[in-house]
Amino acid sequence: MKFYPGYQYVRQVTEFEKESDLIVQKGLIKDGKNYRCQRCNTTFLAHENCLPDGRYYCRECLLLGRITSSHYLVTKPIKKPVKKAVTFCFKGKLTPAQEKISQGLVQNFIKQKNSLVYAVTGAGKTEMLFSLLCYCLTEGLTVAFCSPRVDVCCEIQPRLQQVFPKLSVGLRYYGAKPYEPTPLLVCTTHQLLYFKAAFHLIVVDEIDAFPYAHDKKLHFAVSNALHESGATVFLSATPSELEIKKAQQQAGLFCLPARYHRRKLPVPKLVRIKKQSLPLTFRNKRVFLQWIKYLLLHNHILLFCASISQLKAMEEFLKKEVGKDAVGSVHAADPKRQEKISDMRQNAFQIFCCSTILERGVTFSNVSVLVFEADHQIFTKATLLQIAGRADRKGEFSHSEVIFCFSQMTPALKGAIKEIKELNQKAQKAGLLNEV
Q: What is the binding site for Zn ion (CB under 5 A)?
A: 37, 39-40, 58, 60-61
Task: Indicate the residue among 41 and 383 with the shorter CB distance to Zn ion.
Answer: 41
What gap in Å lies between CA 77 and CA 351, rounded to an integer?
Answer: 51
Q: Are 119 and 128 in contact (CB under 8 A)?
A: yes
Question: By C-beta, is 69 or 276 nearer to Zn ion?
Answer: 69
Closest C-alpha among 406, 431, 432 to residue 417: 406
- Nearer residue to Zn ion within complex by CB, 58 or 94: 58
Closest approach of Zn ion to the CB of residue 39, in Å: 5
What angle is formed at CA 426 by the lines to CA 423 and CA 427, rounded to 5 degrees? 85
Nearer to Zn ion, 24 or 110 (CB): 24
39 vs 390, beta carbon nearer Zn ion: 39
Distance separating alpha carbons of residues 234 and 291, to the nearest angstrom: 38
Least distance to Zn ion from the beta carbon of 64, Å?
Answer: 8
CB of 205 to Zn ion, least distance (A): 24
Return the beta strands (E) in 135-279 as ranges: 143-147, 169-172, 184-188, 199-204, 226-236, 253-256, 269-272
CB of 113 to Zn ion, least distance (A): 30
One DSSP character per residue, 69-117 reads TT-EEEEBPPPPP----------S---HHHHHHHHHHHHHHHTT--EEE
Nearer to Zn ion, 60 or 151 (CB): 60
- State the nearest-atom distance from the C-beta of 217 to Zn ion, in Å: 7
Nearer Cβ to Zn ion, position 28 or 185?
28
Angle at 179 between CA 7 and CA 196, to 5 degrees: 15
SS3 for 413?
helix
Which residues in 209-239 are b (16+ Cβ under 10 Å) and which e?
Answer: beebbebebbbbbbebbbbeebbbbbbbbbb
Q: Output the smallest distance, CB 24 to Zn ion, in A.
A: 17
**Cα separation, 379 vs 374, whole angstroms:** 6
CB of 50 to Zn ion, least distance (A): 15
Between 39 and 190, name the residue whose CB sits nearer to Zn ion. Answer: 39
Minimum distance from residue 25 beta carbon to Zn ion (Å): 12
CB 340 to Zn ion: min, Å: 35
Cα separation, 342 vs 338, whole angstroms: 6
Distance CA 27, CA 40 (A): 10
Three-class SS state of 322:
helix
In contact, 388 and 259? CB cutoff 8 Å: no
Closest among 113, 126, 115 to 186, alpha carbons compared: 126
Q: Tell me the chain's radius of gyration from C-alpha atoms.
A: 24
Assess contact for 389 and 206: CB atoms under 8 A: no
Nearest CB to Zn ion, comparing residues 40 and 302: 40
Q: What is the Cα 57 distance to its own chain's centre? A: 30
Q: How far is the CB of 58 from Zn ion (least distance, A)?
A: 3
CB of 32 to Zn ion, least distance (A): 18
CA-CA distance, 163 to 127, in Å (whole number)? 10
Nearer to Zn ion, 216 or 269 (CB): 216
Nearer to Zn ion, 47 or 80 (CB): 47
For the chain, the maximum distance between any two Cα atoms, rounded to a whole number of angstroms, is: 78
